[in-house]
Structure 1
Amino acid sequence: MQRRAAAIYVAFFLVVGAASYSLIATAEEPTIGFENPDYSLEQGDTFTIDGQQYTATEVVTEVEESSGGGHGGGGGATVSRSATFAWTNQSALYTETWENNSTVTYDGQEWTVLVPNESDPSSATLRESIDRAGILANDTNADNETVTRNGQAYVIVTENGSSTLVPASEYFPAPAEQQISESQSLDYNGNQTSVDVAADAVTLSWNAPRENTVQASNHANVSLSGQTYLVHFPTNDSVQLTQDFENFRAQNDDIDQFTEQKNGLWGVTILSGLSVVFLMGMAFLPSRY
């Protein structure tokens, strides 16, 4: 009687376990997908948002293989997808700061920036930087270095076997100077440039094109022209942009619900299997009567 009852319960749990496992095996897991995205793109495609043209310069899928440790360990793969979007800002703002007493390159020459010692200066002086070492190196009659006598710099010039100390201020050419002020516009590297003079520096500013890029991974957000889009990869070599965030959340909820139900079925399957083993073991215990 004990074994007969156990057999009935074993059959019951086998049916329950098989039924739950069959549901696990045949259930189709929901996935993320959008039928009408705002943009469907492949690498190299261009698109326009609020008058700004963008290019999907890269649509990349990378698979990183990983091996399991130990004997008989299995391997796995991690798939990552990303897209890079590029655009050109035709009137981006650039700035450059020239510190007081610093050496800068302007109009093909080197200059020393001199800001007057005032609380609110409106102009500054650019003084030509004289290449003294180069001038001395090119003069076969002069020593390659200046010397100092009584606090004054001299150049030793030798002519007809006689050496003469020539004051550096007389030997080297007088540096050229030019004024720059806040009222003028400079031609700096081909750009019309505004000037702002502060107590310790000169700031140049101009507008010119600038290349920009932004990268986003699968199911991440990306901001383009002040608008936020969700990035989705329907295939390894295509990408979609959508603002249907509500649909995305609903699909994620479906996936979470499916995972929860699947885990519950696995629990039923495992519990049924354990019950079968337990009942069979109890059925074959020796009777005390």
Structure 2
Amino acid sequence: MQRRAAAIYVAFFLVVGAASFSLIATASAPQLSFENPDHSLSEGESITVDGEEYLVQDISAETEEGELTRSGTLNTTNESARYAIEWANDSTVTYDGTDWTVSTDNESETFTLTEEIDRAAILQNDSDVENETTTVDGQEYVVERASGNESRELIPVDEYFPAPETREYAVGDEIENVENETVTVASVTTDAATLEYFAPETTEIAVSDEANVTVGSTTYFAHFPDNSTMVLTQEFETYDQYEEEVAMQTTMTNGLWGVSILSGLSAFFLLGLAYLPSRY
């Protein structure tokens, strides 16, 4: 009788465990879908938000350590974005292939570029003079090399080196080929001269799967149902409901696993007890 009763209970627990496991195996995961998304886009398609056009630049899917991650990129182009360049007072800038010293005049709203003379290069290229200047009684000179019995001649630097070129610009003037652009002098202060130009500017927006993204002044929930579609929607409550269903299924699955494992252990324990030798 003991073994018969044990066999009945073992069979009962095995049936319960198998039933729990079959429920786990056949249960389907909740699916995230939106009935009326604001936008369902493919690569190359665009939307208009706040009067600006946003293009789906790319949609990608990557698998890392067995986990699939989808993402995408939106971009928008401002055809007339303002760019500003500042030339600080007393700084050195390179323009038109030459180094210049910047001097600003706030009162007249002008600034002056003064060419920087490369004295070291000029001296090295002139075999008739020393490579370094010398100072005598506070005056700087270029030293001419001695020839034969002739003594060295001292040439004042202002006489030897060429006078630097100067260029003056006022607010409103245009300057060509500054960083490959034609710029306009926008303002001049004691601190700096500000140059500006207008050109297209592209802004990129990274879009992650199952995350919020702000496009213009509008916040959307982004979802990639497959490897080629980007869904933008404001049905946030649908995603909240989906998360609740996922959490509920996780709890149920964990419970069923517990039933399966406990049933199997119980059946094994009862089977062992049934075959223990009797003391009587």
**Would the TM-score normalized by the shorter structure come out above 0.5?**
yes
Match of 1:194 among 186, 196, 212: 186
Match of 1:177 among 163, 166, 182: 166
Q: Are 1:153 and 2:145 counterparts?
A: no
CA gap 1:143/1:44 in 2 versus in 1, 3 angstroms: farther
**1:128 aligned residue:** 115
TM-fit CA distance, 1:242: 1.9
**1:270 aligned residue:** 261
CA gap 1:141/1:78 in 2 versus in 1, 3 angstroms: same
- SS of residue in 2 equivalent to 1:230: strand
Q: Report % sequence identity.
A: 49
CA gap 1:242/1:5 in 2 versus in 1, 3 angstroms: same
| C-alpha contact (below 8 Å) 1:146/1:155 kept by paired residues | yes
CA gap 1:147/1:39 in 2 versus in 1, 3 angstroms: farther
Counterpart of 2:70, as a letter, is R
Match of 1:103 among 92, 110, 122: 92
Count of matched residue positions in the alignment of Structure 1 and Structure 2: 274
**1:221 aligned residue:** 212
CA gap 1:123/1:190 in 2 versus in 1, 3 angstroms: closer
TM-score (norm 2): 0.83
Unaligned runs of 5+ in 1: 66-76
**1:254 aligned residue:** 245
- SS of residue in 1 equivalent to 2:210: coil
TM-fit CA distance, 1:107: 5.5
- C-alpha distance after superposition, 1:119-138 (max 9, x if no partner): x9955443222233444455
**2:10 aligned residue:** 10
Show the 5 A alignment for 1:61-140: 61-65=61-65, 77-106=66-95, 109-115=98-104, 123-139=110-126
| Alpha-carbon distance between aligned partners in 1 of 2:75 and 2:123, rounded to the nearest angstrom | 51
- SS of residue in 2 equivalent to 1:190: strand
TM-fit CA distance, 1:207: 4.1
Counterpart of 1:28, as a letter, is S
CA gap 1:108/1:37 in 2 versus in 1, 3 angstroms: farther
TM-score (norm 1): 0.80
| Alpha-carbon distance between aligned partners in 1 of 2:135 and 2:172, rounded to the nearest angstrom | 41
Unaligned runs of 5+ in 2: none
| Alpha-carbon distance between aligned partners in 2 of 1:44 and 1:19, rounded to the nearest angstrom | 49
**1:40 aligned residue:** 40
| C-alpha contact (below 8 Å) 1:115/1:121 kept by paired residues | no
